């Protein structure tokens, strides 16, 4: 039997992967060929989607992008045997493509490779090794392993994950929680979604290790309502995990009890902020809490709570399976391990790239991304989401490193990179940053709630040429106030895109 | 907003309060059950009526104001019926870089409905959304449950034509 792989990831489906999978199955039936179409996650080479891979003795051979109407022709040319080298869509062995070969895929090692619904395939591809090893250690040893790995929170803030766990482990309480923040609302970020759709068991395994390490018995995944495919994938995986004894009572015969629930958000961006997420999980308006107390001590329902991002938790199994040193061997300075960079926007070859920290912005945008999709020169990139800085091409030699980015007045954030070509109006983008903040502010603190509205008005006056110099000073002052006076990152970081736009692209503001 | 205070109390549809009570009661054992209940009500009825709120508040032993506050905080919860099909056009940065703003304007011209509005025939509700997680294949548009990538104005018209 020949196995043919087609992604069921939302991005692949958005350009016709379902239709391609159906056509292949139909063409195989017509040809009387013994073919199984396996639906995987995406490899993350999104410009090649729908990507079709065929299992051959030489490995998986790829074809992409394949439009539904091209399927019959490709099958006639020998697709089901991995043939058809003369066809335009033929890519050769997928693992040998430069885009794949240059990466170090630790967290995303299985995504695009396995059937995300298959617990058997998960185990066959090194799944559960991290959990099995963790269960042979004491909780404190697991926590120290995570500390030693250097893993920092992948949600954006970059706080050391192990330190957070140490605090929760040290908090004495009968009830503790592990919460996965899967409210990935930032434009240009899709790695959480891709991971949950492409390898949901790894998140379950990571959360279970976290629960064991800190002594938690219940876990919640706060998932965006905008991601129905991810909700479906994780729901199915949780059911399977319970059936297999990977969740519930006496996990893998270790005596550990831990169970997991999904909670679906309701379209509020601010709930990506950890304290807003906790309020929302409790069934309230998603308004930020002042810290202290920190969630590690008083989190969900006032109990000690680990709050980690999807990718942080999904990286834990790798760290436990291979050891902290193996993970920390990747990276630079205090940015250790690998990060999942997401290339989006106006980019020729968009997708995800997992490499060690230290790769430069230019390598990502030009070497991997191939420049803009439009063919016009790249003018700006926004790194780290809507609250991240806009950087000009002059800064493309910046290495992906939390400290190096901070020193340049920017942030790595969650590694999302959005590319803009020459047609971009940076004053309009700065205005949008304020507009977005005004729209999505929880309203609890004045600098964010009112400051963002004032910001839109001030930029409008600047671009209209009304008292331009004075209003630029006012804008600067407003940005200072929001940075210093906001309760959370929403108001505190909105000045980042605004100021970087003014600094690097001043002529768009009418100078 | 003041309209709600001065309007006479809305009359619930027959059978609806009982069903809302059941949906709430089925979820009361969850920790923090309010959002799951509101999602369940909206899933079944398509929107959350002002008359549902006191019922939910009663089941959860919350004040009507608390439940109202939560319903109005979240963008997902509709407080009036939507068209038969909802079209959401991403307006976030990544999609903007490849023409999402122009696509939104095109949608308004071709359907007559701006963001948050329903077409005169009641078939389509058009709205904006901030990120569907399809940032490398934008502009992204969600029609019903299906997300479409690389949507041009012409393709949007074709997709909407099929949907209607």
Report ipTM for this prediction: 0.95
Which of A119, A137, A125 shows the shortest CA–CA distance to A324? Answer: A137
Please determine, for residue B4, whether its predicted confidence score (pLDDT) is greater than 80.
no
Does B34 sit within 8 Å of A263, measured CB to CB? no
Distance in Å, alpha carbon of A315 to nearest chain B alpha carbon: 20
Contact B136/A at CB under 8 A? yes
Q: Which class is A2-101 in CATH?
A: alpha beta
Rounded Cα distance, B34 and A205, in Å: 28
Architecture of domain A331-421: Roll (3.10)
Interface of A with B in 291-330 (CB under 8 A): 300-301
B153 pLDDT higher than 80 = yes
Q: Which of residues 1-40 of B touch A (CB under 8 A)?
A: 30-36, 38-39
Is any Cβ of chain B less than 8 angstroms from the Cβ of A8? no
At B56-90, the pLDDT tens digits run 999 999 999 999 999 999 999 999 998 889 999 99
Inter-chain touch A266–B32, beta carbons under 8 Å: no
Per run of 10 residues, the mean pLDDT along chain A (length 511 residues) is 97 98 96 96 98 95 96 94 88 96 97 98 98 98 98 91 98 98 94 98 98 98 96 98 98 97 96 96 97 96 97 98 97 96 98 98 98 98 96 97 94 96 97 96 96 97 96 97 95 96 95 66
Q: Which of A9, A11, A46 to mutate to test the interface with B (most CBs of B within 10 A)?
A: A11
CB contact under 8 A, A185 and B130: yes
Query: Dihedral, CA atoms, A10, A13, A15, A16, nearest 10 degrees?
Result: 180
Closest-CA residue of chain B to A261: B30
- CA–CA separation, A488 vs A437, rounded Å? 12
Nearest to B97 among A280, A351, A419 (CB): A419
The number of angstroms, rounded, from the C-alpha of A193 to the middle of its chain's C-alpha atoms is 7
User: How far is the C-alpha of B156 from the C-alpha of A296, rounded, in Å?
Assistant: 46
Q: Are the beta carbons of A228 and B133 separated by less than 8 Å?
A: no
Inform me whether the C-beta atom of residue B133 falls under 8 Å from chain A C-beta atoms: yes
Select from A232, A233, A280, A283 the residue whose CB has the most chain B CBs within 10 Å, as the one to mutate to test that interface.
Answer: A283
Whether the CB of B144 is below 8 Å from some CB of chain A: the reply is no
Is B131–A185 a contact, with Cβ atoms under 8 angstroms apart?
A: yes
Give the contacts of A484 (CB within 8 A, at least 6 positions apart): A447
- Contact of B98 with chain A, judged by CB distance below 8 Å, is answered with yes
- Tokens standing for residue A119: 């617990």
For the cut 50, the answer to whether the pLDDT of residue B1 exceeds it is: no
Q: Does A407 touch chain B (CB under 8 A)?
A: no
- The ranges assigned to domains in chain A are 2-101, 119-328, 331-421, 426-509
Q: Mutation target for A interface from B60, B136, B159: give the one with most A CBs within 10 A.
A: B136
Beta carbons of B76 and A269 less than 8 Å apart: no
> Would the CB atoms of B140 and A421 count as touching at under 8 Å?
no
Alpha carbons A290 and A296: distance in angstroms, whole number = 14
Q: Which of B38, B94, B102, B158 to mutate to test the interface with A (most CBs of A within 10 A)?
A: B94
Q: Within 13 Å of residue A406, how many CA atoms lie on the same side as its CB? A: 9
Q: In terms of CATH architecture, what is A119-328?
A: 3-Layer(aba) Sandwich (3.40)
A424 CB near a chain B CB, below 8 Å?
yes
Taking 70 as the threshold, does the pLDDT of residue B3 lie above it? Answer: no
Q: What is the pLDDT of residue B8?
A: 67
Residues of chain A in contact with residue B136, where contact means CB-CB under 8 angstroms, are 11, 46-47, 190, 342-345, 347, 350-351
Q: Residue ranges of B for the binding site?
A: 90, 95, 131, 135
In this complex, is the C-beta atom of B75 within 8 Å of any C-beta atom belonging to chain A?
yes
Question: Alpha helices of A150-303 — where are they, by DSSP H?
Answer: 161-170, 191-198, 200-214, 228-243, 274-281
Cβ-nearest to A344 among B30, B34, B94: B94
Query: Domains in chain B and their CATH numbers?
Result: 15-73 (no CATH), 85-163 (3.40.30.10)
Q: Judge whether residue B5 has pLDDT over 70.
A: no
**In this complex, do B39 and A416 lie within 8 Å of one another by their Cβ atoms?**
no
Q: Which residue of B has its CA nearest to A269?
A: B130
- Can you give the length of chain B in residues? 164
- Surface of A (47-86) touching B: CB under 8 A: 47, 49
What CATH number belongs to A426-509?
A: 1.20.1440.230
Q: Which of A67, A219, A344, A428 to mutate to test the interface with B (most CBs of B within 10 A)?
A: A344
Kindly determine whether residue B135 and residue A416, on different chains, have CB atoms separated by under 8 Å.
Answer: yes
**B74 contacts A10? CB cut-off 8 A:** no
CA quadruple A267, A273, A275, A278: dihedral, nearest 10: 40
Token pair 């040290």: residue: A170
- b/e A434-454 (16+ beta carbons within 10 angstroms → b): bbbbbebbbebbebbbbbbeb
> What three-state secondary structure class fits B78?
coil
List, as ranges, residues 102-161 from A with C-beta within 8 Å of B.
none
A426 to chain B: closest CA residue:
B97
Q: Does B116 touch chain A (CB under 8 A)?
A: no
């Amino acid at each position: 039997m020949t196995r043919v792989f087609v992604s069921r990831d939302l991005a692949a489906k958005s350009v016709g992967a379902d239709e391609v999978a159906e056509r292949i199955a139909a063409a195989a039936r017509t040809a009387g060929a013994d073919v199984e179409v396996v639906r995987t996650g995406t490899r993350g080479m999104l410009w090649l989607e729908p990507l079709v891979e065929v299992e051959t003795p030489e490995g998986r051979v790829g074809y992409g992008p394949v439009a539904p109407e091209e399927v019959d022709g490709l099958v006639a040319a020998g697709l089901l045997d991995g043939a058809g080298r003369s066809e335009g869509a033929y890519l050769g062995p997928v693992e040998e493509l430069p885009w794949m070969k240059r990466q170090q895929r630790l967290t995303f090692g299985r995504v695009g490779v396995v059937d995300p619904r298959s617990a058997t395939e998960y185990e066959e591809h090194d799944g559960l090794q991290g959990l099995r090893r963790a269960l042979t250690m004491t909780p404190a040893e697991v926590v120290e392993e995570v500390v030693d790995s250097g893993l920092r929170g992948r949600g954006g803030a970059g706080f050391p994950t192990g330190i957070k766990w140490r605090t929760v482990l040290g908090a004495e309480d009968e009830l503790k929680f592990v919460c996965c923040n899967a409210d990935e609302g930032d434009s240009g970020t899709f790695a959480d979604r891709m991971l949950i759709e492409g390898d949901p068991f790894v998140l379950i395994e990571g959360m279970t290790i976290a629960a064991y390490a800190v002594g938690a018995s219940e876990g919640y995944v706060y998932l965006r309502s905008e991601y129905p495919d991810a909700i479906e994938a994780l729901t199915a995986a949780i059911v399977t995990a319970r059936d297999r004894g990977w969740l519930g009572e006496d996990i893998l015969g270790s005596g550990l009890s831990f169970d997991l629930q999904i909670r679906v958000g309701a379209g509020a961006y601010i709930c990506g902020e950890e304290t807003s997420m906790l309020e929302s999980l409790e069934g309230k308006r998603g308004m930020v809490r002042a810290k202290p107390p920190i969630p590690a001590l008083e989190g969900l329902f006032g109990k000690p709570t680990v709050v980690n991002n999807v990718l942080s938790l999904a990286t834990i199994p790798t760290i436990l399976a291979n050891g902290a040193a193996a993970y920390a061997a990747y990276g630079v300075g205090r940015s250790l391990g690998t990060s999942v960079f997401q290339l989006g926007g106006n980019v020729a070859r968009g997708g995800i790239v997992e490499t060690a920290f230290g790769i430069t912005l230019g390598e990502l945008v030009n070497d991997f991304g191939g420049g803009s999709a439009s063919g016009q020169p790249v003018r700006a990139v926004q790194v780290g989401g809507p609250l991240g800085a806009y950087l000009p091409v002059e800064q493309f030699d910046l290495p992906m490193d939390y400290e190096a980015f901070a020193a340049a007045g920017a942030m790595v954030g969650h590694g999302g990179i959005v590319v803009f070509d020459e047609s971009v109006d940076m004053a309009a983008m700065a205005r949008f940053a304020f507009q977005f903040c005004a729209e999505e502010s929880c309203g609890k603190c004045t600098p964010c709630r009112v400051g963002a509205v004032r910001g839109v008005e001030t930029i409008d006056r600047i671009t209209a040429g009304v008292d331009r110099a004075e209003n630029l000073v006012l804008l600067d002052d407003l940005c200072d106030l929001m940075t210093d006076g906001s309760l959370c990152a929403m108001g505190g970081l909105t000045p980042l895109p605004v100021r970087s736009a003014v600094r690097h692209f001043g002529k768009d503001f009418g100078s | 907003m003041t309209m709600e205070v001065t309007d006479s109390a809305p009359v619930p549809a027959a059978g609806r309060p009982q069903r809302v009570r059941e949906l709430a009661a089925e979820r009361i054992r969850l920790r923090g059950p309010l959002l799951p209940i509101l999602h369940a009500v909206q899933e079944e009825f398509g929107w959350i009526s002002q008359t549902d709120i006191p019922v939910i508040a009663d089941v959860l032993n919350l004040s009507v104001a608390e439940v109202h506050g939560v319903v109005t905080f979240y963008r997902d919860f509709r407080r009036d019926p939507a068209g038969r099909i909802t079209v959401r056009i991403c307006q976030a940065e990544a999609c903007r870089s490849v023409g999402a703003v122009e696509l939104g304007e095109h949608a308004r011209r071709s359907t007559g409905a701006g963001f948050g509005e329903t077409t005169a025939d009641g078939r389509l509700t058009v709205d904006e959304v901030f990120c569907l997680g399809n940032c490398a294949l934008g502009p992204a548009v969600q029609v019903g449950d299906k997300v479409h990538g690389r949507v041009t104005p012409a393709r949007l018209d074709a997709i909407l034509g099929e949907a209607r």
